Structure 1
Amino acid sequence: MSPVTALRSVPAVPDLSRESEVLARLARVVSEGPSSCVCVRSRSQHQLNAMDIDSGLLAIPLQGLKRVREGEGWSTFVPGEIILVPNARKIDMQNVPDERTGNYVAVAIALCAEAVTAARGLVPPQLHGKGEPGAIGRVTLADMAQELLDWCEAMARGDEVRARYVLVGILLKLHASGHTGVLAEPVATLAARIRIMIAANPAREWSSSDVETELATSGATLRRRLAEEGTSLRQVLADARLSYALNLLLTTRLPIKSVAARVGYASPSSFVKRFAERYGVEPSNVGGT
């Protein structure tokens, strides 16, 4: 079964007033810039190829359409639907502005490791998804309306502990409805560990010896393990920097020159070239500027 045909949806009569309330509350909360979610804005349609998703997330279009591809075909999501990415993976993504307003706006809520660990502790190990990552899922906003409103309320109060508690409930509800991949055992790759390390200081001139010291490993072991994962340190470093740059472009109005500097590129033109090679789109076509 392909990832597209595996998308799940629970038939229901939509409560449009309820959906509108949730969308409005989400828009209000993300405008205040909470650290637990990301607001993505754009005024031009663009496609991002092989985008790294480092953890599970809920992506919710507020204006415009989001198209996602994992495998063969594209799936389209509209306001009133939630894209569930159960766990870390690479996906292709298109952001399409609303025809009336000319804007694309979406919120992405990370299914943080703390919430996943807590939820896993409440479910018998044999029900954790059998180690399978699961396909990208489709969830109606109505199915998660109360949970999202609770999350918005917690975030509006600045209570991130309560917000994580709500996420635990969301994870358990998703798991019970058949999206077992949200509690699957995470795959701890060396490349992922290095990407997290680089993301903490992307402008640093990282060398192989720096990474070896941070990970307390030898150069030979580092090269061997990355080769087993089908990558190299050079590729991981480039991906980590460009992924951080992509996040800045999607969530801020920083000029390209500033984004390039923040991720360690002295030459903006070199950054533009590498970014376009990596994602299939120039950075000027990404984001809301």
Structure 2
Amino acid sequence: MRRFCHGARRWLCGERPALCPERSNCRGQGGLDMTISAAMSITDLRPTLLARLRPFQSTAFRHGPHPHAGPLLSYCSLDRERLSAISIDEPLLSIVLRGRKELWQGDLAEVLTPGMAFALPRGLVLDVVNIPDDRSGIYQSLILSVPALPPAIRPLAPAARIDGFAITLTPDLVESICHAAVAVADKGQSQALAGLRLTELLWLLQADPAGRHLMAGDLVQRARWLIAAQPDRAWSVDLLAADLGTGASTLRRKLTAAGWPFRALLAEVRIQVAHRAIGAGASVTQAAEAVGYRSRSHFTQAYRAVFGQTPGGRVIDGERMENARAG
């Protein structure tokens, strides 16, 4: 199985794409009715999105990836290519800029045309056909990988089944896609701004069934987010299981199997939240109370277990850094 390694900036791990003989005739195979996806608003926003993303259209017509910055890249194909059993290692938001893309996953088949956005979840295995357009002889897509969700975005349970990949465009979503692409691609922009733009985009995509694929998280990720959102809550396995929609014994067993027994996970997440609070200027006492510790000695012990130093050492290190910057 080949892996689609966008995060590592490798094009199919440096290998040429595998031919997919069973997709050689991409229409009508297996009795499937291969039609253009209708995932668009009544007002067709595809031309608007394409016009706004024109600066990202490649002028260096090379086959393969064209990195912009960070997790953003363009992908070009100069020939029709059929890629078999591609495994997605990071969630991807992509927009077709030129040509046509066909996605095949089991009995699901979609055709995506220029200006259409689509989302692929982590771990998905599918067949892909990239088809250059007749005029330019180029297929191109803009791809934004989402290796980790921003803290404000809640991880969602993976969908039981995937009914489609295409995202329904709205005016707000078109604006957000363009703002996020520009912010991520501009190396002169602060990472904080790029993070805010990505958070805004993912927030809007939560309302779209296909867009929600990008927010899928495993059980540990979802448990971490819930604890971090309310670190001072008197968490128990029963409470956490209820919020996750599963049974307490099932949760305990799955967390342990993943290497995170409940108590260890609870302590680690709380200490990470406290660590960030201290870095932002909170006192040790304020940080400890904010994450549910009533005993400073217990907090110090837990902090040392995670970071190898006392929280007081973190404060001193921070003060030294500020003094160095001032000097």
Q: Normalising TM by the smaller chain, what interval? A: 0.5 to 0.7
SS of residue paired to 1:48: strand
Give the counterpart of 2:43 among 1, 10, 13. 13
Aligned length: 179
Shift of 1:161: 3.4
Is this contact kept in 2: 1:22–1:148, CA < 8 A? no
Separation in 2, partners of 1:157, 1:38: 12
The AA in structure 2 aligned to 1:14 is D
After superposition, the C-alpha distances for 1:77-136 in whole angstroms (9 at most, x for unaligned) are 011101211333111101101111111111111123143x53117xxxxxx346647444
Is this contact kept in 1: 2:39–2:168, CA < 8 A? yes
Question: Going by fraction, where is helix more abundant, 1 or 2?
Answer: 1
Corresponding residue of 1:27: 57
Separation in 2, partners of 1:76, 1:65: 7
Task: Find out whether 1:74 has 2:109 as its counterpart.
Answer: yes
Task: Find out whether 1:181 has 2:216 as its counterpart.
Answer: no
The AA in structure 1 aligned to 2:48 is R
Task: Give runs of aligned pairs for residues 1-289 of structure 1, distance below 5 A.
Answer: 9-15=39-45, 18-27=48-57, 33-115=68-150, 117-120=151-154, 128-129=156-157, 132=160, 134-143=162-171, 144-158=173-187, 159=189, 160-179=191-210, 180-186=212-218
SS of residue paired to 2:122: coil
Change beyond 3 A, Cα 1:170–1:136: farther
Separation in 2, partners of 1:118, 1:154: 18
Is this contact kept in 2: 1:85–1:136, CA < 8 A? no
The AA in structure 2 aligned to 1:138 is A
The AA in structure 2 aligned to 1:92 is D
What TM-score does the superposition give when structure 2 sets the normalisation length? 0.47
Change beyond 3 A, Cα 1:139–1:178: closer
**Structure 1 unmatched ranges of 5 or more:** 122-127, 189-224, 226-289
Change beyond 3 A, Cα 1:130–1:60: closer
Is this contact kept in 2: 1:55–1:110, CA < 8 A? yes
Structure number with larger C-alpha Rg: 2
Is this contact kept in 2: 1:8–1:137, CA < 8 A? no
Change beyond 3 A, Cα 1:95–1:18: same
**Structure 2 unmatched ranges of 5 or more:** 1-31, 60-64, 221-256, 258-327
SS of residue paired to 2:152: helix
What TM-score does the superposition give when structure 1 sets the normalisation length? 0.53
Is this contact kept in 1: 2:119–2:167, CA < 8 A? yes
Shift of 1:47: 0.5
Shift of 1:171: 1.8
Change beyond 3 A, Cα 1:169–1:75: same
Shift of 1:177: 2.8
Is this contact kept in 2: 1:44–1:97, CA < 8 A? yes
Change beyond 3 A, Cα 1:98–1:10: closer
Separation in 1, partners of 2:174, 2:70: 21
Is this contact kept in 1: 2:168–2:208, CA < 8 A? no
Separation in 2, partners of 1:187, 1:27: 38
Change beyond 3 A, Cα 1:175–1:8: farther
